[in-house]
Amino acid sequence: MPMIMRTAMLGGVAMMLASLPAQAATMKVVIDKLVFTPAEISLAVGDTIEWVNRDVMEHTATVEGGFDVRIPAKKSASIVVKEAGTLDYYCRYHPNMRGRIVARAK
């Protein structure tokens, strides 16, 4: 196949791939020994946050005036990020447990 045709075909494939929507990502936050790790996460609107609770007690990820996710002991729970911004969250049962979500527009 001539070089010009191959270059044109590769350029067409690259343009098709660039126009595909970005896949949503999942960011995991592990809860272990009363600590959210990582304490701060950055992700995009449409991405998922999954909290994995390794402790033997229930926790929450709570935002004042926002979401309140219950995370049972030895289980996980998740939400999809709906809007851009910075959200500070904490555990209702253990208020010293704190985390931050920085969500950017897609």
Domains (range + CATH), the chain: 23-104 (2.60.40.420)
Instruction: Quick: pLDDT tens for 28-86.
Output: 999 999 999 999 999 999 999 999 999 999 999 999 999 999 999 999 999 999 999 99
Of 5-9, 76-80, 102-106, the poorest mean pLDDT is in 5-9
Element (H, E) at 85: strand 85-90
pLDDT at 23: 82
Q: Higher confidence at residue 23 or residue 69? A: 69
Give the span between the Cα atoms of 44 and 62, in whole angstroms: 19
The DSSP bridge pattern shows strands 40-44 and 98-104 to be parallel
The C-alpha atoms of residue 5 and residue 3 are separated, in whole angstroms, by 5
Residue 17 has pLDDT above 90, yes or no: no
Q: What is the pLDDT of residue 8?
A: 46
For residue 2, the model assigns a pLDDT of 56
